[in-house]
Amino acid sequence: MPDKFDAIVVGAGPAGSAAAYSMAKAGLSVLLIERGEFPGSKNTSGAVFYGEVLNELMPGFWREAPVERWINNQVISILGEGSSINIKTSREQTSKPVGVSVLRSKFDRWLAQKAVDAGATLLTSSLVDDLLWEKDRVTGVRVAREQGEVLADVVIIADGANSLLSEKAKLRGKMELRHVAVAVKELIKLPENEIEQHFQLSGNEGAAYSFLGEGTKGLPGGCFLYTNRESLSIGLIVNLHNLQTAGIQPFELLDGFKEHQAVAPLIAGGIVKEYSAHLIPEAGYDAVPKLFANGVLVVGDAAGLTLNSGFTLRGMDLAIASGIAAAETVKQAKKNKDYSAGYLSYYRKLLEQGFVLKDLKRVKNFSRLLNNKLIYREYPAWACRVANRLYNVGTKPALKMTKIINGERPRSLSLWRVISDIFKVNDL
| Averaged pLDDT in 10-residue chunks for the chain of 428 residues | 90 97 98 93 77 94 96 93 90 85 94 98 95 96 87 96 91 83 92 96 94 89 93 92 88 94 96 89 83 97 82 86 98 96 97 92 71 78 84 74 81 74 59
Give the pLDDT of residue 363.
79
Q: Count CB atoms within 10 A of the CB of residue 135.
A: 6
How far is it, in rounded angstroms, from Cα 78 to Cα 380? 6
Residue 175 to residue 167: CA distance in whole angstroms: 9
Cross-strand pairs, 122? 32
**What is the rounded distance in angstroms from the CA atom of residue 39 to the CA atom of residue 12?**
6
Give pLDDT, residue 134: 95
| Dihedral sign from CA coordinates of 294, 6, 30, 352 | positive
| Number of neighbours of residue 245 by Cβ within 10 angstroms | 12
236 and 216 Cβ atoms separated by less than 8 Å: yes
pLDDT at 415: 74
What is the structure's pLDDT at 311? 63
Phi, psi of 158 (to 5 degrees): -140, 45
pTM across the whole model: 0.90
Q: Which class for 141: exposed (0-12), middle (13-18), buried (19 or more C-beta within 10 A)?
A: buried
Domains of the chain: 4-60+102-175+287-353 (3.50.50.60), 178-281 (3.30.9.90), 369-426 (no CATH)
Whether 314 contacts 307, CB under 8 Å: yes
Round to whole Å and give the CA distance between 124 and 300: 19
Cβ neighbours, 10 Å, residue 307: 21
Determine the pLDDT at residue 313.
Answer: 76
CA distance 289 to 291: 6
- The SS3 call for residue 115 is helix
Please name the helix (run of DSSP H) or strand (run of DSSP E) that holds residue 73, with its range, or none. Answer: strand 67-80
